[in-house]
Amino acid sequence: MTDTFLEFNVRKQFPGFELNCQGAFGSGVTAIFGPSGTGKTTLLNCIAGMLSPDLGEIAAGGRTLFSSATGTVVPPERRRFGYVFQDAALFPHKTVEDNIGYGYALTPPEEREIDLDHLVDMLGLAPLMDRSVNNLSGGERQRVAVARALATSPRLLLLDEPLASLDARYTGAIITYLKRIARELEIPMVYVSHSLSEVMALAQDTLALQQGRTVAFGPTPTVLADPAIAAIADYSSLENILEAKVVETGDGRSTSLLKIGDAEFVAPATDRTPSETVVVSLGAGDVMLSLDVPRRISARNIIRAKVREIHDVGDRVLVYVDIGRTLTVEITANARDDLGLREGSDVYMVIKTASIRMMT
């Protein structure tokens, strides 16, 4: 975990539901994961100051924002947090430029740490600046919402399921932009999601909630493989969301060549040019593992990898394999036992071309 930035210990009571959890989030990207109705947005709103807990404390960067013991309640506008809502919540009567500039204008000059031109360039918004937000796609609206939140030079960026209403082609793009923001601006993020795939793609650490209580917290790979979250996680939809560099476009053929980590993959054709980056998804259950090089098969990808970790999660087995970056593979317990897999084993991943899906 990175250096602690946000600490909380809160209780909030509603009819038939109570949020009662604590955590210490680092300066990277931390996910709050769990099914609908488990308290994820309630916790995020307590952090933002839009809700006040009944009991507890919240502190960020060493500054107390809420304390029931001392009566401290710092209002949302003085916390300097950016908030991105699931539905973008843009001003419908304003242009893209005016939406982004709104927060910037409210920020005192001495607190403006993010250059607007750099922000617009980073999120690819220059061609949209004069457009009405009513004429944007879902993915474009969310990029504008992220830019508006960042234009205030926030100390913390809060995101409440920003990809929940988007289809895959927009999801991949937004994930790419968020990773760039985390890398270049180094603003701590708290990312709420019910998607294991999004959490795995973005977050270094994860807090898993169930019925308002913490069931697991720590590095994301460890949490996602924790048997305690088997009851709330949909492993059947688990995908590796990966940034890949185009090596060959296919030049009119039906396939392209992509580099992910240290390995090259045959994938569906792309219109991107060599050296450009694309985002692809690969289902954890779409990968077969073999101890030997398979012969005379139709699958185009036979990738050598090393097993780093093996976890039993309910009736599933998650295998983390290394190809210069970590991928998650789902197999059965019988397959693991028959192959004699253990940490450090050398294996071959067998992947059909069609299992690699383009997201951008």
48 with 111, same domain: the answer is yes
Give the residue numbers spanning the domain of 120: 4-235
186 with 103, same domain: the answer is yes
For 77-132, the DSSP string reads: GGTTEEEE-TT----TTSBHHHHHHHHHHHS-GGG--S-HHHHHHHTT-GGGTTSB
pLDDT by residue for the chain (360 residues), tens only, comes to 458 999 999 999 999 999 999 999 999 999 999 999 999 999 999 999 999 999 999 999 999 999 999 999 999 999 999 999 888 789 898 999 999 998 889 889 999 999 999 999 999 999 999 999 998 988 899 999 999 999 999 999 999 999 987 877 788 889 999 999 999 999 999 999 999 999 999 999 999 999 999 999 999 999 999 988 988 988 888 999 999 999 998 777 789 999 999 999 999 999 899 999 999 999 999 999 999 999 999 999 999 999 999 999 988 899 999 999 999 999 999 999 999 999 999 999 999 999 999 998
Find, among 258, 288, 214, the residue nearest to 11 by Cα: 214
153 with 300, same domain: the answer is no
Question: Reduced to 3 states, what is the DSSP secondary structure of residue 169?
Answer: helix
261 with 228, same domain: the answer is no
120 with 256, same domain: the answer is no
87 with 196, same domain: the answer is yes
207 with 260, same domain: the answer is no
**Of 203, 235, 267, which residue constitutes the final position of a domain?**
235
92 with 230, same domain: the answer is yes
312 with 205, same domain: the answer is no
225 with 155, same domain: the answer is yes
**Of 235, 260, 275, which residue constitutes the final position of a domain?**
235
pTM of full prediction above 0.95: no
CATH of the domain at 258: 2.40.50.100
40 with 153, same domain: the answer is yes
230 with 245, same domain: the answer is no
**Of 235, 263, 290, which residue constitutes the final position of a domain?**
235
Number of domains in the chain: 2
Distances (CA, A) of 349 to 164, 264, 331: 30, 12, 12
CATH of the domain at 64: 3.40.50.300
For 293-355, the DSSP string reads: ---S-S--EEEEEEEEEEEEETTEEEEEEESSSEEEEEE-HHHHHHHT--TT-EEEEEE-GGG
